Structure 1
Amino acid sequence: MSRTARFPRTAHTARLARAAATLAAALLATAVAVPAHADTAGRGFQPSHPELDHAGSTIVAHEGRGPAGPLQPMVAQTPGLDVSSYQGSVDWSTAAADGAGFAYVKATEGTDYTNPSFAQQYDGSYDAGLIRGAYHFALPNASSGATQADYFVSNGGGWSADGMTLPPALDIEYNPYGDSCYDLSQSAMVSWIRDFSNTVESLTGRYPTIYTTTDWWTTCTGNYGGFGATNPLWIARYSSSPGTLPNGWSYQTFWQYADSGTFPGDQDYFNGAYSRLQALAD
């Protein structure tokens, strides 16, 4: 091939290189415009296995189980349970016959997930005579507390003064997808929880019950004590007693004491007689 025959191919290659460089610059500009850690809709972190996330799903891996033995205290405790999509369709009549007085049901997670078994679990527990409530699995790194509270209340997390509905609940525990505290500082975590709590109260008239563990609360909020006056505590500890409680609470309202037992799902106690449970619902 002659030297003159190669010149047109060289010029063509140069034009292609310039076009590729222009395209690469355009793509880079577009990428810079998208926030870090966001999907194409501009949202924050999205969970990959929300069907596996439920109240207590991270507890054993981080805290294990305490010594077995008679549960303390044993006076005026009302047994109950909590469930999520992991349990699927629940036999509520059997749970009631076995002594369950209440149930908490997972409704939502983040701002995209709703429990596909929610209607059967939430309405079914009510039909069986259990006092029931809904809870939200928090993802503080996905969106604001107010945004998740609004999504929760709009998808099952409401409250009605029918004597059969517990306050909505916030499940705030170890991050199942990474850093235990969701890469938030202690002050930022407190602000997120306050944002969620105040929004739920403004939408429903009830401050949410807070589900957590003492270890997580101490680590991720600095053992903040400002919620005890307004928010019931649902403590998780798989042992023979609730143990030391987070700052601000002198007693627990609910105690998740085991992840298996008589009832489907997790095993819980309301810290009082059934009449006091009714009073909380009212």
Structure 2
Amino acid sequence: MRHAIALALILSLAACGGGRRETHQSTTSPTATPSRANFGDVHPQDFGSTAPQDHRIHGIDVSKFQPAVDWQTAQANGVSFAFIKATEGGDQADPLFRQHWQGAARAGVPRGAYHFYYHCRPAIEQARWFIDNVPRTQGALPPVLDMEWTPTSPTCRIRNSPDHIRAEAQIFIRALQSHYGQRPILYTAIDFFEDNQMWKVQGVDFWLRSVAAHPRDLYAGQHWTFWQYSGTGQVPGIAGKVDLNAFAGNARDWQAWLAASQR
């Protein structure tokens, strides 16, 4: 019964077209592929036969923990895309979301927003919160649902059943798909992925965390679009550490994916 109500709310979200709209274009083309990534790493890993550097297209994900970003410098040093934290749960918004969102756009860096999932709140409420805070922006990358275990959370350490977690994920994903008109991205780590059989989730591109091995070595043949390979990256233009990510394909694949996925 709960999921039936949630589906009805999804349809109402789509009908009312809630959330802010932005129709302006970036001042620089958001589809340009910059030079090869000039990144460092505080704690570099040996990935074996296929290293992150074997992938052509790299990017970052940022939040309030990266308060100072020179987006023009980052783009010039190989940042081809950025995922920016927007919301968490049903009532928390990242205080630097707007600053990062606008800065990336001015530098011509394709960017998308992500939501950190809170296991103690219904998915539909969290979807509404994300939609209230993230505008429908021409040229934006698809929205991202970040689902992980939260063992250090001060308020919510619950571990729901795999069936419940996947059902809630699908509710959130369908709400975003309906509102933004894009196929969402699902970010997760190996423990959460295996514990909840997240490969069964439908209608998403996968963004997988794997900081000591290639995803194929951990995720048993799971198709992925983005690979988070470091949480200790160093990028010119960004003070301190930042997460590093790679796109699965080559430069031509990247352009094709952008064309198919951007608004």
TM-score, normalised by the number of residues in structure 2:
0.72
Other-structure match for 2:174: 198
Task: Spell out the pairing of 1:1-282 with structure 2 (5 A cutoff).
Answer: 67-69=45-47, 71-72=50-51, 75-141=54-120, 143-156=121-134, 158-160=135-137, 162=138, 164-175=139-150, 176-177=152-153, 182-219=158-195, 221=196, 223-228=197-202, 230-244=203-217, 246=219, 250-263=222-235, 264=238, 265-272=242-249, 273=251, 274-279=254-259, 280-282=261-263
Moved over 4 A (4+): 73-76, 178-181, 244-247
Q: 1:83 to 1:98 in 2, by over 3 A?
A: same
1:240 is displaced (CA, Å) by 4.1
Calculate the aligned-residue CA RMSD, in Å: 2.5
What is the DSSP-based 3-state SS (H/G/I as helix, E as strand, rest coil) of the residue aligned with 1:136? strand
Q: Check whether the contact 2:123–2:168 (CA below 8 A) recurs between aligned residues.
A: yes
Q: Check whether the contact 2:190–2:218 (CA below 8 A) recurs between aligned residues.
A: yes
| Residue range with higher mean Cα deviation, 249-258 or 118-127 | 249-258
Structure number having the greater strand percentage: 2
What is the DSSP-based 3-state SS (H/G/I as helix, E as strand, rest coil) of the residue aligned with 1:133? strand
> Once the two structures are aligned, what percentage of the paired residues are identical?
31
CA-to-partner distance for each residue in 1:95-122, whole Å, 9 max, x for gaps? Answer: 1111111000000001111111111101
> Following the alignment from structure 1 to structure 2, what is the Cα–Cα distance between the partners of residues 129 and 241?
29
Code of the aligned partner of 2:166: V
Higher RCO (C-alpha under 8 Å, 6+ residues apart): 2
CA-to-partner distance for each residue in 1:236-269, whole Å, 9 max, x for gaps? Answer: 010241234657x742111110012232420011
What is the DSSP-based 3-state SS (H/G/I as helix, E as strand, rest coil) of the residue aligned with 1:225? helix
Consecutive unaligned residues of structure 2, counting only runs of 5 or more, are: 1-42
What is the DSSP-based 3-state SS (H/G/I as helix, E as strand, rest coil) of the residue aligned with 1:174? coil
> Following the alignment from structure 1 to structure 2, what is the Cα–Cα distance between the partners of residues 111 and 209?
19
> Following the alignment from structure 1 to structure 2, what is the Cα–Cα distance between the partners of residues 102 and 181?
32
1:68 is displaced (CA, Å) by 2.0
Q: 1:68 to 1:244 in 2, by over 3 A?
A: closer
Code of the aligned partner of 1:113: Q
What is the DSSP-based 3-state SS (H/G/I as helix, E as strand, rest coil) of the residue aligned with 1:234? strand
Q: 1:181 to 1:218 in 2, by over 3 A?
A: farther
> Following the alignment from structure 2 to structure 1, what is the Cα–Cα distance between the partners of residues 245 and 179?
27
Equivalent residue pairs, number: 210
Larger Cα-atom Rg: 1
Q: 1:231 to 1:74 in 2, by over 3 A?
A: same
Q: Check whether the contact 1:139–1:182 (CA below 8 A) recurs between aligned residues.
A: no
TM-score, normalised by the number of residues in structure 1:
0.67
CA-to-partner distance for each residue in 1:61-119, whole Å, 9 max, x for gaps? Answer: xxxx9952465365553110000011113111111111111000000001111111111
Q: Check whether the contact 2:199–2:222 (CA below 8 A) recurs between aligned residues.
A: no
